[in-house]
Amino acid sequence: MFPSLLVANRGEIARRVMCTARRMGLRTIAVYSDADAQAWHVAEADEAVHIGGAAAKDSYLRIDAIIDAAKRTGAAAIHPGYGFLSERAEFAEACAEAGIVFVGPPAGAIRAMGLKDAAKDIAEKAGVPVVPGYRGDDQSPERLRAEADRVGYPVLIKAVAGGGGKGMRRVESDAEFIKALEGAKREAAASFGDDRVLIEKYVARPRHIEIQIFCDAHGNGIHMFERDCSLQRRHQKVIEEAPAPGMPPAMREAMGAAAVKAALAIGYRGAGTVEFIVDSSRGLRPDGFWFMEMNTRLQVEHPVTEAITGLDLVETQLRIADGAKLAPQSSVRMTGHAVEARLYAEDPAKNFLPSIGTLRRLALPPENGLRVDTGVREGDAVTMFYDPMIAKVIAHGKTRDEAALALARAMERIETVGVKTNAAFVARCLRQPEFLSGDIDTGFIDRHIATLAPKPARPSGEVYALGALAALLHGAQRSGLADSGPWAIDDGFRIGGGGFDTVDFADGDTVLEVRIERIAAGFAVTAGDERFAATAQLEGRRLKAAIDGRSIDAWYEVTPAAVTLAMGAETTTLVLHDPFDIEDAGSDTAAAITAPMPGKIIQVLAEPGQSVKRGAALAVLEAMKMEHTIVAPADRKVAEVLVKAGDQVTEGATLLRFAES
């Protein structure tokens, strides 16, 4: 076995690969950008090398910098992780030229499967079924539109060099085609440097089922069963599981054989995933699946395969790269069921808009019976430069229900402050009756979005009561006074007289007064029209309380401006009313449109003097590798446009202003 390994990646996957490498006795080498100088994967490596600026193009996508780092540290092998350079044939070639082992397939295999149209041709020639569509060289809008008409709507426009849902659009009718095509091409060019697309028939009730395969350098190929990755938002996976629910043995055998056949047809070596689209409208059948693409790397969701097989897929990769032969197919066994959830920094209630900021609080579930893969710690930042995934949480059980419900409970216990997350959303998915019954497809989230990602509701009176208690007790703690609280807090408190204190919160345009009376049994708290009997005390950063006999344990944070409570996956920030704030709270908040996050303006669709309808697209912002369309909040007239295509903007930057109503 080679003695040292450089991991050409960051975060969670870098830590995951290095964990196995250390267990196998290898010296581990990390690389890092300006943004990752203090990152966890850097701290854990035996050696680390700085490779450039914060943006991926200036660091993790620089083949020259990574090869130079490997040479300087004497790295015998390079593992690419996933994303970044993991599917770049030029990187595999650069490793070979430098005499460094590339832990991945040969450059020729990466090229063969790197373009979706060519990959489908290869699969078809190998006897693997493919989805009807158009994969031709003529990329004119007229030809692509004509092919979409021929295939029949709905269709998918997909980037030829794509992955991760980027450069992909579902189109329902001819009238939508050109606009969708422009968006797909623009996103594909930005993500992959290649704006070519293909057209595919959109399969009814589609399920995304993929096969984990391995091939060695001796002509052997095996599969490690399937994973179901059907629960997706914006064409990106959220929940993955193995095995696929309802999978008949005959179909598993047919899909596994087809996947291995496709891999061996290109002289594959190492770990790979062959992805199929499955028509679930008639149930799972051996004649109802079609080749979609092959990912020539380890997948984000590989832990569920490890859970059901008991195998370490990274170790298998490393041993194949060192020349070992694969064990026979019969040696791979499956036990139980595993489900994985991706914890993202995003706001499901705002169409999964990515969220950035410092993780002032991050409490992931304890690992008793669970596996948690993460690359960040409390105090780290989620930045605009990289994917917003915080962690992966994996549960394994004897049955699917056991694994799914254990994972739901784990997601409900996650505490995060500083960014929005999808933890509560994922827990709702896992508990949704259709999910538990196995009635899933790629449209599951869209069908249930109102239930899974409800619009934020006004905090309850109970939450306001807890916030007031936290603020009062925190003030008393800071001041060192056992029986008084308001003196140490800058805003929001009044002495009421008669033995009670008052905390004032800004509730929209109004002020909500919460009155706290000290009584023998604790506190009597009045929030608006609601009255509660409460006990409460602070233990470190936790509020231990009981409201009308119901016990509550919350992480809290009090600042002069707000009280934040993290109660499991639900985090609430209550704004303290500042009586000296003279800003007109009732001012028209729709007088201007601001950027929801830092990013690059890709397209401006509004002009000064233009009248726009509610929901009309005003601009397209690219941030965190995805495009986000900014729309009009109401019927308005545009007075001024302050940005142009290509501009980099900060969060909160004004993009345009409306004329006065």
Query: Residues with catalytic annotation?
Result: 297
CA distance 168 to 363: 34
How many other β-carbons are positioned within 10 Å of the β-carbon of residue 394? Answer: 23
C-alpha span between 586 and 576 (Å, rounded): 17
The residue ranges of DSSP E strands in 336-452, in sequence order, are 337-344, 346-347, 353-354, 357-358, 361-363, 370-374, 381-382, 389-397, 415-417
Structure tokens that stand for 606 in this block: 């509004």
CA distances to 297, 462, 506, 548 from 577, in Å: 52, 18, 5, 26
Cα–Cα distance for residue pair 653/459, rounded to 1 Å: 28
* Helix, strand, coil share (%) of the chain residues, nearest 5: 30, 35, 35
Q: Are strands 77-79 and 4-7 parallel, antiparallel or unpaired?
A: parallel
Edge-to-edge strand list for the sheet holding 206-215:
289-295, 270-279, 206-215, 221-233, 236-242, 337-344, 389-397, 370-374
Query: Which residue reads 């539109």 in tokens?
Result: 145
CA distances from 475 to 37, 524, 559, 575, 644 (A): 36, 18, 10, 16, 48
The phi and psi torsions of 382 (rounded to 5 degrees) equal -95, 115
Q: Is 81 left (phi over 0), alpha (psi -120 to 50) or beta?
A: left
Contact yes or no for 109/252 (Cβ under 8 A):
no
Q: Across-strand partners of 77?
A: 5, 101
Cα 313 from Cα 103, distance rounded (Å): 12
CA–CA gap between residue 402 and residue 500 (Å, rounded) = 49
